[in-house]
Copies of this chain bind each other. A is one copy, B any other.
Amino acid sequence: MKNFVKEKRMEFNLTQDDLSEKLDVSRQTIISLEKGRYNPSIILAFKLSKLFNCTIEDIFIYEEGEENE
C-alpha cells in the first residue's frame, strides 16, 4: 500500500521523532511506515488522518487486490 506519510510529515515540519510522539508510537514505526515495510493498523491510520486533518484515503492508497493472491 502506497502512502504519503513522509510528505504529510514534512508539510507539517515534523521530524520522525516529533511525529512518533504525537501519535504515541515508536520512531521505528514511523520509519517502517514511511519505508512501506508494513501497513498501519486502522487505529494508527485514523490518528494520522486526524493529526494531518484529512481522510485516511488522502494518506493511504489501496489498489484493489494488492495484498495477496
| Interchain CB contact under 8 A, B64 and A50 | yes
Copies of this chain held together in the complex:
2
Q: How far is the CB of A69 from chain B (nearest CB, A)?
A: 10
Interface residues of A in 19-69 (CB under 8 A from B): 39-43, 45-46, 50, 55-57, 60, 62, 64, 67
- In the assembly, what is the distance between CA of A56 and CA of B67, in Å? 17
Chain B contacts of A67 at CB under 8 A? Answer: 43
Interface size on A, residues (CB 8 A): 16
Given contacts A41-B41, A43-B1, A43-B39, contact A57 B55 (CB under 8 A): yes
Other-chain residue from B42, B50, B55 in contact with A42 (beta carbon distance below 8 A): B42
| Interchain CB contact under 8 A, B43 and A41 | no
